[in-house]
A = this chain, B = another copy of it.
Amino acid sequence: MNTSLLKLASIAILSSVIAACASQTSNETAQTPLRATGDMGVVIERATGQVQIVNHTHQEVLAEIDGLGDLSHASIVYSRDQRYAYVFGRDGGLTKIDILKDKIAKRVMQSGNSIGGAISQDGKLVAVSNYTPGGVKVFNSETLELVATIDSSILTTKPKNKDGSPVRSKVVGLVDAPNNKFVFSLFDSHEIWIADFSTIEQDKTPKLTKFTDIGLFPYDALISPDGRYYIAGLFGEDGMALVDLWHIEKGVKRILPNYGKGQQKLPVYKMPHLEGWAIAGDYAFMPAVGRHEVLVVNTKTWEQVTAIPAHSQPIFVMAQPDNRQIWVNFAHPDNNTIQIFNTETFELVKTLTPGPAVLHMEFTPRGEHVWMSVRDSNEIQIYDTKTQTLQKTLKSSSPSGIFFTSRAHQIGL
């Protein structure tokens, strides 16, 4: 073997090592792209158990992740650093997605049937509200280890489950509130509970405050942007239940006695989402139940001021971040339409028909754009809020909820 051959052999080895090295670096880079997280989001693709990771500056899809189970009615909250999205699946799956590495960081099956969740003010706890078995489970946001189980009230009139356990009330309308509290409603037992986790590290168990007989079948709830007012809609009767969290000693107050289906028992195609309520200035803009109206309510007196005629039965009523306009989508069979109203004059600004099944809307944080999921045309549409014109369309498989990372910074979202 001569020196030339040695050189040749060495070069060959060197080249392959360098190639491997470059490939490793490039994989590392590909796995961990340098990303700030302020302009990111996650879109639920409900039919396929997938989510898309998106960027709303460049208006693009960055990645798609699968294996999330049943995502019908799924929702998302973010870790306080905006790195992790917690996806609450309908099948009881709780999935923690790493949006810097585009992969699932952790996943647990935490119940048989779940309807939503929240993250605590300090970001350390993730709570999930469950239908089956009824109650709330609270997890360490980092490890997804169970921290607490809050069993809901036993329904003594119902026969026991097959496994001999008692049937418990379904839990809905779970939100976070200041001072590491979670607030939620018990559908079957007609209650609102507050679970205070501010001393969980010492006490190992949350402090519970229970309001009973709050009204028949609370089905969903919202909390005001400052975390003061918790309001639950009632499925079993007209009116709503309000708790002033600054004065829980005053108990539950009944408001808006006419809110609901009314005496005529209108056909209701879908109960509206209360989380979407727009609170703009002195007014709350609320989807009427079963009526073709958006209700305008004074947030001081919680009395109805007026009703705005709308295209159909509203589902989400969302205010732009500048509060100047509200955007409204509608129940089936009119869910191909969006209407935009002026919050000052209550006038109709524009009617859009984005396409079949407009399920959700999300505004960019300062409000220049709004993203819409149009499920049955497999599209996300992006509109300019000032001109209400379509700017861009992204492909998505049966998109439903759209959640931007700015939610990490907002109480109740």
Report A's interface with B, CB cutoff 8 A: 1-3, 6, 9-10, 13-14, 17-18, 21, 24-25, 28-29, 32, 34, 36-39, 55, 57, 78-83, 99-101, 121-123, 178-180, 198, 226-228, 246, 280-282, 300, 321-324, 344, 364-368, 386, 405-406, 408-411
- For this complex, 24 residue pairs linking A to B, each with C-beta atoms less than 8 Å apart, are A1-B3, A1-B6, A6-B6, A6-B9, A9-B10, A14-B14, A17-B18, A21-B25, A28-B29, A36-B37, A36-B79, A36-B81, A36-B100, A38-B38, A38-B78, A38-B79, A38-B80, A38-B409, A57-B80, A121-B367, A178-B322, A178-B367, A246-B344, A366-B409
**A202 → B minimal CB distance (Å):** 14
- Chain B hits for A386, CB < 8 A: 179, 198
**A12 → B minimal CB distance (Å):** 9
**A362 → B minimal CB distance (Å):** 13
For the residues of A in contact with B, the DSSP-based class is loop
Q: Which residue of B lies closest to A17 (CB)?
A: B17
- Chain B hits for A121, CB < 8 A: 366-368
**Which of A81, A99, A321, A366 has the most B CB atoms < 10 Å from its CB?**
A366
Query: Considering the chains assembled together, what is the distance between the CA atoms of A100 and B34 in angstroms?
Result: 8
* Beta-carbon contact of B322 and A411 below 8 Å: yes
Query: Considering the chains assembled together, what is the distance between the CA atoms of A322 and B82 in angstroms?
Result: 20
- Chain B hits for A405, CB < 8 A: 38
- Chain B hits for A364, CB < 8 A: 80
Query: Considering the chains assembled together, what is the distance between the CA atoms of A4 and B38 in angstroms?
Result: 57
Query: Known: A1-B2, A21-B17, A28-B25. Is A38-B323 also a contact (CB below 8 A)?
Result: no
Partner of A228, one of B29, B323, B365, B410: B323
Query: Considering the chains assembled together, what is the distance between the CA atoms of A184 and B44 in angstroms?
Result: 41
**A21 → B minimal CB distance (Å):** 4
Query: Considering the chains assembled together, what is the distance between the CA atoms of A228 and B320 in angstroms?
Result: 13
- Chain B hits for A79, CB < 8 A: 36, 38
Query: Considering the chains assembled together, what is the distance between the CA atoms of A18 and B180 in angstroms?
Result: 49
* Beta-carbon contact of B38 and A365 below 8 Å: no
* Beta-carbon contact of A38 and B228 below 8 Å: no
- Chain B hits for A55, CB < 8 A: 81
Query: Considering the chains assembled together, what is the distance between the CA atoms of A14 and B20 in angstroms?
Result: 12
Query: Known: A38-B82, A83-B36, A409-B366. Is A123-B24 also a contact (CB below 8 A)?
Result: no
- Chain B hits for A226, CB < 8 A: 280-281, 321-323
Query: Considering the chains assembled together, what is the distance between the CA atoms of A228 and B55 in angstroms?
Result: 28
* Beta-carbon contact of A38 and B408 below 8 Å: yes
* Beta-carbon contact of B38 and A367 below 8 Å: no
Query: Considering the chains assembled together, what is the distance between the CA atoms of A17 and B21 in angstroms?
Result: 9
**A285 → B minimal CB distance (Å):** 14
* Beta-carbon contact of B32 and A324 below 8 Å: no
**A409 → B minimal CB distance (Å):** 3
18 extra A-B contacts, CB within 8 A, seeds A34-B100, A39-B81, A178-B322:
A9-B10, A13-B13, A14-B14, A21-B25, A25-B25, A36-B100, A37-B82, A38-B80, A38-B409, A57-B81, A57-B123, A80-B364, A80-B365, A179-B386, A226-B323, A365-B410, A366-B410, A409-B409
**Which of A78, A246, A344 has the most B CB atoms < 10 Å from its CB?**
A246
**A110 → B minimal CB distance (Å):** 24
**A318 → B minimal CB distance (Å):** 14
Q: Which residue of B lies closest to A367 (CB)?
A: B178
**Which of A57, A79, A80, A123 has the most B CB atoms < 10 Å from its CB?**
A80
Query: Lowest 8 A-B CB distances belong to which pairs?
Result: A38-B82, A36-B83, A365-B409, A21-B21, A39-B81, A178-B322, A36-B81, A406-B409
